[in-house]
Amino acid sequence: MINIAILGFGVVGSGTAEVITKNRDVIKEKTNADITIKHILDLRDFPGSPYEALITHDFNEILNDSEIDIVVEAMGGAHPAYDFSKAALEAGKNVVTSNKLVVAQFGTELLEIAKKNGVRYLFEASVGGGIPIIKPMMTDLAQNRIDGVSGILNGTTNYILTQMSENGASFDEALKEAQAKGYAEADPTSDIEGHDAARKIVILAALAYGKLIAPNNIHCEGITKIDSKDVAFAEKLNGYSIKLIGHAEKADDKILAFVSPRLIPEANPLHDISDVFNGILVKCDMLGDAMFYGRGAGKLPTASAVVSDIIDIAIKSEMKAECAKWTDAEKDDIAPISNYVCAHYFRIEGCPKCMGKVFDDVESCISENGECAFITKPMTEADALASEKAFAENGIKVLSRIRVL
Amino acid sequence: MINIAILGFGVVGSGTAEVITKNRDVIKEKTNADITIKHILDLRDFPGSPYEALITHDFNEILNDSEIDIVVEAMGGAHPAYDFSKAALEAGKNVVTSNKLVVAQFGTELLEIAKKNGVRYLFEASVGGGIPIIKPMMTDLAQNRIDGVSGILNGTTNYILTQMSENGASFDEALKEAQAKGYAEADPTSDIEGHDAARKIVILAALAYGKLIAPNNIHCEGITKIDSKDVAFAEKLNGYSIKLIGHAEKADDKILAFVSPRLIPEANPLHDISDVFNGILVKCDMLGDAMFYGRGAGKLPTASAVVSDIIDIAIKSEMKAECAKWTDAEKDDIAPISNYVCAHYFRIEGCPKCMGKVFDDVESCISENGECAFITKPMTEADALASEKAFAENGIKVLSRIRVL
């Protein structure tokens, strides 16, 4: 039997309790793991809840309970989530979290502490909600060099972009609808500016390349500047969809990671992933492309991932601690985006002739209502920026530039 | 260090050696597993191959070598693959295989022998080629009840159906092209009649529901009767694609598994999986839909999955044997397809009026060149069969009937 304590009885914490309670039989049958919730830490009391008796307001009660094998950190935010996780690991308890902020910011330190104390720090739920992606990258794909990872990592922005594409909604309309449906928070900044996706892609990059880059050290562009015209032009140009993509790859010996909207070609399996679903495409040298798809957020999906980590600890209790292995990235480990090569979508004021003042040759081009949209040949980010400048020098307004995946 | 022997140096066996050799450094770095190939069993000699010195023609050399921890069975076929696997497990060696025929036919017995001998019998490569699906179903999804599994499990038929859809090719033309490209064998029966997919779906069903059904005890329909007209009508009716699907679900206390062509709605993530790619959609009660996508066949993808099993054994050497748990399905465990409910696509000779002689109300209908294609409301298989009979009694020829996913 494995005893756990849950820190935070909000969406993820209560979902975790629900999954463990509802599926206790199937978990035991499939894995022999017998999970008991012993404490739940929250500021509130939850009178009448079936878990009422387990509620405590004192973290020390959990920390000092030698029967607790696993602490589930489902508080969110940096503090005290980080501090409690650290204390639990130092006390020789395994920690499972859904908190991408803490993993992306303090993961290296917490993994080190876990290793030193012979326990594990697991975070399957921190990326891709319920989708199994962290453990598959650590184990099932370990015999592959990772050529690149591209993911739709944020359900809120994917919902907004889907609404813009399917219903021709403007960004503002789609955001309001997402808020009305509970898919976006009252302050949606972290989602729509790409910060959430940035935390997730640095975690995936660390698993792929062994170095954790601080999220604010990567180029991060959200979707606030995407116009419904861009969505329509992209579709017309060659059936492209527009998605917010977290991307990481090895560039020589450095790691290039960034978040930005991307035009997705029809043949790419990420093309049709819509609504709040996430998808993560992993390019492997032996296996080729593999994609993991599913619900990237939500109470029970996220809790499902949390419980998969609990089970993993329960069934591997005989093993020495087996954690993700990475170190913090140094400045020299990080490749600048300026050398990144891809085709670019431009939307400019004017006609194809205006386009011709900067580009001799493009892949495809559409002109409508005094605007011209086109896809360039593959070029570096630096050259794309130089082209923007060249348009400006010719008095031509660049309305949008979006990288093509 | 872990010593392995490879049985059969064909596509999968030589691919396994290639993955281990080429990615030795990355495997060691990520997992600490240090894999050494000590013997390779084959009838041939491979003079000049870097593995020449490892070749043996005598299985007993492997069986009696106490240094061999893992036997990789990559021979294919039932015998002697089964016999060698059994002997290896009885000798206390772990066995890893890509052989779906052996797993589907003898898996229960081999898993029991493995358990008795404290070793493991793993078969990640038996389903979905390189896609991680077996281990995710055993571990990452273990906290979910599986509501159903639907998969594009055979790359050859998916390539053929893609050609029929994208290029309007006939089945025969598409098959010939698949053979020319090496995607289909000279005798393609096992692929095109669905036998290969049947072996894979019974394995997935066993993982989901704990009972292994013999592949020839499930309803199995291939793609040989699919006409290019069906592909075109399906697309016109509502953007459906046609895929060969292995499907399993729990029907009351029984397991319903079958293989048949299905119309796939646009919103289903399996809709756009084309060419030789596979995709497996797992419906989970907590996580919701999860899909695993990638190369379902090929030398290095399949070998990648084989090596992931080897790594799993290497890194869990401290653990007690942890194997799939299932028993053989009894007759009573198997649900007949007759109660299965889904919408059906019909193509009949005649016009909508002819359709009206059997169906009052359908979901959608197209009539062209003296033929009428339509999608029914959801109905049982038994009722669908009765409708076929009713058409016949009215002198109306039913040209196709395909289930809708």
CB contact under 8 A, A294 and B289: yes
Q: Looking at this protein, which amino acid is placed at residue A259?
A: V
With 80 as the cut, is the pLDDT of residue A109 above it? yes
| A330 within domain boundaries | no
CB contact under 8 A, A287 and B273: no
Pairwise CA distance, residues B157 & B160, whole Å: 5
Radius of gyration of chain B (CA): 23
Q: Do B399 and B313 have their domain in common?
A: no
Residue B325: the pLDDT is 83
Cβ contacts (< 8 Å) between B325 and chain A: which residues?
A: 30
| A147 within domain boundaries | yes
**Which residues on adjacent β-strands are paired with residue B259?**
B220, B246
Q: What angle do CA B33, B39, B40 make, to 5 degrees?
A: 110
Cβ contacts (< 8 Å) between A293 and chain B: which residues?
A: 269, 289-293
Q: In terms of DSSP H, where are the helices of B171-227? A: 171-180, 189-192, 195-209
Q: Do A44 and A123 have their domain in common?
A: yes
| A334 within domain boundaries | no
- Distance of alpha carbon A99 from the chain centroid: 11
| Secondary structure E strands in A326-376 | 327-328, 341-342, 344-349, 362-368, 371-376
| B333 within domain boundaries | no
Q: What CATH number is attached to the domain comprising A348?
A: 3.30.70.1710
**What are the C-alpha distances in Å from A363 to residues A262, A343, B3?**
16, 9, 52
Q: Do A154 and A115 have their domain in common?
A: no
B111 neighbors B324 (Cβ within 8 angstroms): yes
Q: Which residue, among A140, A272, A315, would best test binding to B if mutated, counting the most B CBs under 10 Å from its CB?
A: A140
Pairwise CA distance, residues A233 & A239, whole Å: 9
Q: In terms of DSSP H, where are the helices of B150-270? A: 155-167, 171-180, 189-192, 195-209, 228-238
Q: Do B182 and B277 have their domain in common?
A: yes
B349 neighbors B388 (Cβ within 8 angstroms): no
Hunting for tokens 């979910």 — which residue is that? Answer: B144
3-state secondary structure of A277: strand
Q: What CATH number is attached to the domain comprising A28?
A: 3.40.50.720
Pairwise CA distance, residues B197 & B220, whole Å: 9
Residue B246: the pLDDT is 98
Q: Do A173 and A254 have their domain in common?
A: yes
Name the nearest CA neighbour of B391 among B349, B361, B363, B360.
B349
| A331 within domain boundaries | no
3-state secondary structure of A121: strand
B97 band by pLDDT with thresholds 50, 70 and 90 = very high
Catalytic residues of A: 200
B321 band by pLDDT with thresholds 50, 70 and 90 = low
Q: Do A270 and A311 have their domain in common?
A: no
A321 band by pLDDT with thresholds 50, 70 and 90 = low
CB contact under 8 A, A290 and B285: no
With 70 as the cut, is the pLDDT of residue A265 above it? yes
Q: Do A287 and A242 have their domain in common?
A: yes
Q: What angle do CA B376, B282, A321 make, to 5 degrees?
A: 175
The beta-carbon neighbor of A143 closest among B145, B269, B307 is: B307
Average pLDDT over residues A110-139: 96
Q: Do A143 and A283 have their domain in common?
A: yes
B276 neighbors B159 (Cβ within 8 angstroms): yes
Give tens-digit pLDDT for A235-257. Answer: 999 999 999 999 999 988 899 99
* DSSP codes of every residue in A182-219: TSS-SS-HHHHTTHHHHHHHHHHHHHHHSEEPPGGGSE
Q: Do B58 and B91 have their domain in common?
A: yes
Q: Which domain holds residue A52?
A: 2-129+299-325
| B105 within domain boundaries | yes
CB contact under 8 A, B291 and A289: no
Cβ contacts (< 8 Å) between B276 and chain A: which residues?
A: none
Q: Residue B151, by phi and psi: left (phi above 0), alpha (psi -120 to 50) or beta?
A: beta
Q: Do A368 and A219 have their domain in common?
A: no
Q: Is B200 a catalytic residue?
A: yes
ipTM of the complex model: 0.93
Q: What CATH number is attached to the domain comprising A195?
A: 3.30.360.10
Q: Which residue, among B149, B165, B275, B287, would best test binding to A if mutated, counting the most A CBs under 10 Å from its CB?
A: B287
With 80 as the cut, is the pLDDT of residue A34 above it? yes
> Which domain-ending residue is among B308, B328, B348?
B328
Rounded mean pLDDT of chain B? 95
Q: Do A23 and A165 have their domain in common?
A: no
Average pLDDT over residues A71-75: 97
Cβ contacts (< 8 Å) between A149 and chain B: which residues?
A: none
The token duo for A180 is: 């009305």
B85 band by pLDDT with thresholds 50, 70 and 90 = very high
From B86, B93, B200, B243, the catalytic residue? B200
What domain count does chain A have?
3
Helix or strand run (H / E) with residue B143: none
Pairwise CA distance, residues B326 & B218, whole Å: 17
Average pLDDT over residues A39-67: 97
CB contact under 8 A, A320 and B318: yes
Pairwise CA distance, residues B340 & B405, whole Å: 11
CB contact under 8 A, A269 and B273: yes
Residue A323: the pLDDT is 79
Cβ contacts (< 8 Å) between A23 and chain B: which residues?
A: 143-145, 285-286
What is the torsional sign of CA B203, B208, B213, B217? Answer: negative
| A93 within domain boundaries | yes
Give tens-digit pLDDT for B125-134. Answer: 999 999 999 9
Residue of A nearest to B273 (CA): A269
Give tens-digit pLDDT for B1-39. Answer: 899 999 999 999 999 999 999 999 999 999 999 999 999
Give tens-digit pLDDT for B236-281. Answer: 999 999 999 999 999 888 999 999 999 999 999 999 999 999 999 9
Nearest chain B CA: its distance from A127 CA (Å): 14
Give tens-digit pLDDT for A137-183. Answer: 999 999 999 999 999 999 999 999 999 999 999 999 999 999 999 89
Rounded mean pLDDT of chain A? 95
CB contact under 8 A, A289 and B285: no
Q: Do A359 and A310 have their domain in common?
A: no
Nearest chain B CA: its distance from A392 CA (Å): 41
Name the nearest CA neighbour of B236 among B155, B168, B327.
B168
| B180 within domain boundaries | yes
CB contact under 8 A, B130 and A287: yes
CB contact under 8 A, A136 and B132: yes
Nearest chain B CA: its distance from A260 CA (Å): 24
Pairwise CA distance, residues B232 & B242, whole Å: 10
Strands A288-295, A277-284: pairing is antiparallel
- Distance of alpha carbon A82 from the chain centroid: 19
Name the nearest CA neighbour of B297 among B137, B158, B167.
B158
Cβ contacts (< 8 Å) between B311 and chain A: which residues?
A: 139, 142-143
Strands A35-41, A55-56: pairing is parallel
pTM of the model: 0.94
